[in-house]
Chain A
């Protein structure tokens, strides 16, 4: 940009100087470069041909994936309870639509650039179909050949993509000036995916009456069981998008607070109530949970209004320590769990009430927040603690992608606050806190992840008192989050060190308390600086979830690499390891790449690396 002093806002459009001139300048400028051009074109075509050959070879059993998709996603989760999985997805999509609509900006995209992208995509596919190998040697010993891509099918596909190519070219030339909102375009893309579910045929394994596997029929379409829910969910997504847009136009402030809270709450509700079928009776809720909720709500009311009176506020310190003591004592006593956690929350309420509830309105708000959170907490505990009525024909409800996702999500969600606390503890001036945090970080980091997983799976049972049992999945989640928190703490500590001393001093000079200094001045800057390493950490945690296979949990990769290639009964997919591993690789890539894209957007929004 140094020699270009043009200060125009948009870069000047590059004029296309003609195919001949471009070719001459870039590919055939001399004899040597012409030879290189031909050589590399030959190599590229050969490479693509062998890749497509791998995909469409009749040796490939892609049915191993389509037939086992259910195993890949939820392992043994019973079919009769799939509605719970769909409700879970629906809840997330609904929230996604609301958030998307609420935060939507009227960004417009010109149809020209969109159709250019489509032209690129369609012409690449056109080219790939054109060079696809038609025959592949199947049997190395006997030398028989099988037709892979029939010429008629090739022409059929070429025709389809030719038409698509032409129509996008038509849009590019005729409607170049038109613009479209980016959000609507994205809705259209997702809609096309859903339409594809109805149109595209996927080979499916079928059996005859005597349970013998038939050759896959390539003209069977996707199972109806997923087509209809996805269509319904798409409608839900679009509807919530417009609701979110409407709320945004009405400028309702409370939505801004409720949305993040619902995002935090959703996974907990899903895990404790929706994904399982809690065994509870209404009498339990009426005799146990309701009194506790009402009781704590009343105590909270008293704390908020009574503790702020001028006479008592000077004794606030005693109330704080007293409530902490009570919470700790009750925690060690054999009383019902529903009483233990609220007491800790009460301690927090007593600590913060005088500072927050300083006006009549804020006291009312705090009371509402208190009652709602106590009610949610108690109900979540009721759901999580009661037995699930879902009968699973295997070891665990969770398996496959559901397991990968649960471990990754809760691993990240738990390790993030824990890691930040550890980082703050390590930089603290209190020696005892600093030593504990440093020791914990170093201990966790110095032992391999696999060892910790073994510890959680095999040795933890010997340390716990008899009768106390944790689910294997819970143990894996706990180990993963502690391990990840130690690494995250070091990343965050790096961010903390990048903050100049002046910032701390300035915060002290304006009279901020320690908590305010950390939460308002230090942390926002420190976290902003370490977004790239934190995203790396998230990506590596997501991939590390595949290690839980060594403690006997079936994650996505283990199902692909070990379980399906060993299925000899029923459909018989012995030795289909290449197809399955490739599928897993694409699946992981989709997720990690979208994490990376998301973080790039956040970095851009925060102006990271520019200031």
Chain B
């Protein structure tokens, strides 16, 4: 090989690589522009084109993974609702399955925009972890489950458990609540502690204890699993602890907080006026100006100020439904009903209440 050919080949090679690098640097520059720290979550989500929502993925009626991999449940539905409000398309959600241990870290690290993972709103979680809590979407609370054959019924109280054996998991607030509650009611109970709740359930079924205790939704789910709707009773009617479950987002992001809060409130208000998926198009908005404003039927200024489109909440109701529809679809199949519970609308003595839209 002579020198000329070598030099020619070398030049050719360098030119080829240089050509490629030119176009390449442009690509890198574009990529670097995406680096953003001070944007609000809403802008970030809108720019990205989909919502990242943290759920459990394996919680009965709250977020279940179905046979085709899709996620359903009341938590999942509120993720869909926020996506409907932001994009007008409920399906623009990417779910991230989070364990109880990593949920808050994932939220603060920005891996999810919104955390709806049956998370109880407590003072320490609200103040110490850099999170804020949205309006409660489900009021849960610790209850007890016993056998009808022991003379227990849905109207029993803590006084009736005197002398019975109670199974619960050790070292949790559940254990503390039942001990304190029984002492206040003057009932002497024998506490049987186990490692995890499924074990407590096994002991209850085997007759090694007369009562089990955990969150009401969990008890109902287990009663439905065993098909013992008429044999086991869940009581007391007003739970012995407060477990409000709702959406969580990062602190200091008022715009994003407003979007999430008002999406939830919109489902409450629509429920209050009886506007659902079926009648959202045919509803007489002139007769009800508040619904008209919320659905963006006049100018929709209330929504555009928030950074959403005027018909954002119309899309929520149209595509996902109002609170009653979301609740009934997900929680009725496992035996949880709104009537008489804290999840009834405020007009029926419940706690589901939203500020007015005006």
Binding site for B on A (CB under 8 A): 67-68, 70-71, 74-77, 79, 141, 287-289, 291-292, 294-296, 298-299, 301-302, 305-306, 334-336, 338-339, 392-395, 399, 454, 457-458, 461-462, 466-467, 472, 550-554, 558-559, 562-563, 566-572, 574-575
The answer to whether B16 and A338 have CB atoms under 8 Å apart is no
A–B complex contacts, Cβ < 8 Å, 15 sampled? A70-B69, A71-B65, A71-B67, A287-B19, A288-B23, A291-B17, A302-B9, A335-B25, A392-B69, A395-B57, A454-B101, A466-B35, A567-B64, A574-B224, A574-B334
Min CB distance A154 to B, Å, is 29
Min CB distance B217 to A, Å, is 11
B111 in the interface, Cβ–Cβ < 8 Å? yes
Min CB distance A262 to B, Å, is 28
| Chain A: CB-nearest residue to B102 | A458
List, in ascending order, chain B residues with CB within 8 A of A572's CB. Answer: 333
B195 in the interface, Cβ–Cβ < 8 Å? no
B184 in the interface, Cβ–Cβ < 8 Å? no
Q: How far is the CA of A519 from the CA of B330 in the complex (A)?
A: 62
Min CB distance A296 to B, Å, is 7
Pairs of residues from A and B, 9 with the lowest C-beta to C-beta distance, nearest first: A76-B69, A336-B24, A575-B225, A295-B16, A298-B13, A295-B17, A291-B16, A562-B58, A291-B20
Q: A295-B20, A298-B13, A466-B35 are in contact. List 4 more A-B contacts (CB 8 A).
A: A75-B69, A558-B58, A566-B60, A568-B64
Q: How far is the CA of A611 from the CA of B71 in the complex (A)?
A: 58
B208 in the interface, Cβ–Cβ < 8 Å? no
B72 in the interface, Cβ–Cβ < 8 Å? yes
Q: How far is the CA of A291 from the CA of B35 in the complex (A)?
A: 30
Select B21's contact among A335, A393, A558, beta carbons within 8 Å.
A335
Q: A552-B99, A563-B57 are in contact. Are A288 and B224 (CB under 8 A)?
A: no
List, in ascending order, chain A residues with CB within 8 A of B24's CB. Answer: 288, 335-336, 338-339
Stretch at the interface among B89-97, B243-251, B298-306: B89-97
The answer to whether A551 and B102 have CB atoms under 8 Å apart is yes
| Chain B: CB-nearest residue to A558 | B58
B14 in the interface, Cβ–Cβ < 8 Å? yes
Main secondary structure of the interface of A (DSSP, over half): helix
The answer to whether B102 and A339 have CB atoms under 8 Å apart is no
| Chain B: CB-nearest residue to A309 | B1
Select B58's contact among A141, A295, A334, A563, beta carbons within 8 Å.
A563
| Chain A: CB-nearest residue to B35 | A467
Q: How far is the CA of A566 from the CA of B63 in the complex (A)?
A: 9
Select A70's contact among B27, B67, B231, B333, beta carbons within 8 Å.
B67
- When each residue 53-75 of chain B gets 1 if its CB lies under 8 Å from chain A and 0 otherwise, what string results? 00001111100111111111100
The answer to whether B20 and A339 have CB atoms under 8 Å apart is yes
| Chain A: CB-nearest residue to B94 | A395
Q: A75-B65, A568-B224, A575-B225 are in contact. Are A301 and B9 (CB under 8 A)?
A: yes
Q: A394-B65, A552-B97 are in contact. Are A339 and B21 (CB under 8 A)?
A: yes
B10 in the interface, Cβ–Cβ < 8 Å? yes
List, in ascending order, chain A residues with CB within 8 A of B25's CB. Answer: 334-336
List, in ascending order, chain B residues with CB within 8 A of A141's CB. Answer: 231
The answer to whether A306 and B1 have CB atoms under 8 Å apart is yes
Select A461's contact among B14, B15, B109, beta carbons within 8 Å.
B109
List, in ascending order, chain B residues with CB within 8 A of A70's CB. Answer: 67-69
List, in ascending order, chain B residues with CB within 8 A of A289's CB. Answer: 20
| Chain B: CB-nearest residue to A139 | B227
Q: How far is the CA of A553 from the CA of B60 in the complex (A)?
A: 18
Main secondary structure of the interface of B (DSSP, over half): mixed
CB within 8 Å of A: which B84-121 residues: 91, 94-99, 101-102, 105-106, 109-111
Q: A301-B9, A458-B102, A563-B57 are in contact. Are A79 and B68 (CB under 8 A)?
A: yes
The answer to whether B109 and A566 have CB atoms under 8 Å apart is no
The answer to whether B69 and A302 have CB atoms under 8 Å apart is no
Q: How far is the CA of A335 from the CA of B13 in the complex (A)?
A: 18
Q: How far is the CA of A554 from the CA of B66 in the complex (A)?
A: 13
B6 in the interface, Cβ–Cβ < 8 Å? yes
Q: How far is the CA of A133 from the CA of B90 in the complex (A)?
A: 51
The answer to whether A298 and B12 have CB atoms under 8 Å apart is yes
Binding site for A on B (CB under 8 A): 1, 6, 9-10, 12-17, 19-21, 23-25, 27-28, 32, 34-35, 37, 57-61, 64-73, 91, 94-99, 101-102, 105-106, 109-111, 221, 224-226, 231, 330, 333-334
Q: How far is the CA of A569 from the CA of B225 in the complex (A)?
A: 12
The answer to whether A302 and B68 have CB atoms under 8 Å apart is no
Q: A306-B6, A550-B99, A574-B225 are in contact. Are A569 and B72 (CB under 8 A)?
A: yes
List, in ascending order, chain A residues with CB within 8 A of B94's CB. Answer: 392, 394-395
**Residue from B34, B64, B72, B99 having most chain A Cβ neighbours under 10 A:** B64
| Chain A: CB-nearest residue to B12 | A298
The answer to whether A457 and B60 have CB atoms under 8 Å apart is no
Min CB distance B316 to A, Å, is 19
Q: A394-B70, A574-B221 are in contact. Are A568 and B21 (CB under 8 A)?
A: no
Min CB distance B218 to A, Å, is 11
List, in ascending order, chain B residues with CB within 8 A of A288's CB. Answer: 20, 23-24
| Chain A: CB-nearest residue to B1 | A305
Min CB distance A455 to B, Å, is 11
Q: How far is the CA of A306 from the CA of B9 in the complex (A)?
A: 11
Min CB distance B237 to A, Å, is 23
| Chain A: CB-nearest residue to B9 | A298
The answer to whether A458 and B109 have CB atoms under 8 Å apart is yes
The answer to whether A395 and B35 have CB atoms under 8 Å apart is no
The answer to whether A571 and B224 have CB atoms under 8 Å apart is no
List, in ascending order, chain B residues with CB within 8 A of A558's CB. Answer: 58
The answer to whether B330 and A569 have CB atoms under 8 Å apart is yes
The answer to whether A566 and B97 have CB atoms under 8 Å apart is no
List, in ascending order, chain A residues with CB within 8 A of B72's CB. Answer: 569-570
Select B99's contact among A462, A467, A551, A568, beta carbons within 8 Å.
A551
Select B57's contact among A338, A551, A554, A568, beta carbons within 8 Å.
A554
List, in ascending order, chain A residues with CB within 8 A of B67's CB. Answer: 67-68, 70-71, 567, 570-571
Q: How far is the CA of A67 from the CA of B66 in the complex (A)?
A: 10
The answer to whether B95 and A552 have CB atoms under 8 Å apart is no
**Residue from A141, A568, A574 having most chain B Cβ neighbours under 10 A:** A568
Q: How far is the CA of A554 from the CA of B17 in the complex (A)?
A: 43
Min CB distance A189 to B, Å, is 31
List, in ascending order, chain B residues with CB within 8 A of A461's CB. Answer: 109-111
The answer to whether A393 and B16 have CB atoms under 8 Å apart is no
Q: How far is the CA of A298 from the CA of B58 in the complex (A)?
A: 55
Q: How far is the CA of A296 from the CA of B18 in the complex (A)?
A: 11
Min CB distance B17 to A, Å, is 4
| Chain A: CB-nearest residue to B34 | A467
Min CB distance B228 to A, Å, is 9
Min CB distance B28 to A, Å, is 5
The answer to whether B96 and A552 have CB atoms under 8 Å apart is yes
| Chain A: CB-nearest residue to B14 | A295
Min CB distance B335 to A, Å, is 10
Q: How far is the CA of A73 from the CA of B311 in the complex (A)?
A: 40
Q: How far is the CA of A466 from the CA of B59 in the complex (A)?
A: 32
Q: How far is the CA of A436 from the CA of B27 in the complex (A)?
A: 37
Min CB distance A282 to B, Å, is 14
Q: How far is the CA of A592 from the CA of B14 in the complex (A)?
A: 51
The answer to whether B17 and A296 have CB atoms under 8 Å apart is yes
| Chain B: CB-nearest residue to A577 | B198
The answer to whether B16 and A567 have CB atoms under 8 Å apart is no
